[in-house]
Amino acid sequence: MTVHQLNPDTWVDSYADYLFNYAIARVSDTEIAKDLVQETFFAGLKSAKNYKGDAAERTWLVAILKRKVIDHYRKINSKKGKAEVRVNYSSKSDADGDWLEEQIADPFSSFENDRLENEELGAAIYECIAQLPQKQSLVFTMKTIQGMSTEDICNELGINPSNLWVMIHRARTTLMGCLNQNWFNL
């Protein structure tokens, strides 16, 4: 087993971009992502004496950043309280073909290779995702775009599976409404 040594003088040059990309994918806010990376470096310096060298330096820093992201969402949730807003959905919203994932282009369609249309649809989807509440956006992105497992998402965000699926349901419903208004009805 290789024992790794910490070299804090190189952290910013070596890992800042990677850590920022990791953070921005989870918080969808540039300033918060920058703050989380800075907090990660600071926490790394403070806990350097606890570094055992079992993991690579970057892996160790990512583990710290994961905890910072989780803390960020816990802080948000504690400010908002535990209660969720109840929203009534019609039974029609659960009908076949209504989910975003079912609206994806047919690979045998004549539009399959229309790059401009695919880019415009992609931009519309990301624009609609950006309008979601922050935690719904994060959960939807992690599950649907990044393909993370339910267990990993729940562990990372400190939520239970039923809460995750409620957020995904709400995100899908809201995204379909947004896309129907801003894309499909153009």
pLDDT value at residue 63: 87
| pLDDT bracket for residue 88 (50, 70, 90) | very low
Looking at the structure, tell me whether residues 112 and 161 fall in a common domain: yes
Give the mean model confidence (pLDDT) for residues 56-63: 88
| pLDDT bracket for residue 97 (50, 70, 90) | very low
CATH number where 68 lies: 1.10.1740
Looking at the structure, tell me whether residues 180 and 99 fall in a common domain: yes
Give the mean model confidence (pLDDT) for residues 139-159: 87
Alpha carbon distance 133, 165 (integer Å): 15
Per-residue pLDDT of 18-50, as tens digits, reads: 899 888 888 888 899 999 999 999 999 998 888
| pLDDT bracket for residue 148 (50, 70, 90) | confident
Q: Choose between 146 and 47: higher pLDDT.
A: 47
pTM above 0.85, yes or no: no
Q: Which two tokens stand for residue 16?
A: 């800042």
Decide if 2 is inside a domain.
no
Alpha carbon distance 21, 16 (integer Å): 9
Looking at the structure, tell me whether residues 96 and 157 fall in a common domain: yes
Decide if 85 is inside a domain.
no
Looking at the structure, tell me whether residues 122 and 165 fall in a common domain: yes
Question: Across the chain, what does the average pLDDT equal?
Answer: 76
Decide if 40 is inside a domain.
yes
Which span out of 21-30, 35-44, 106-115, 138-147 was modeled with the highest average pLDDT? 35-44
Q: Which whole-number Å values give the CA distances from 4 to 53, 63, 66, in the listed order?
A: 4, 15, 20
Count of domains for the chain = 2
Q: Which domain covers residue 142, as residue numbers?
A: 91-184
Domain boundary among 49, 80, 111: 80
Looking at the structure, tell me whether residues 13 and 62 fall in a common domain: yes
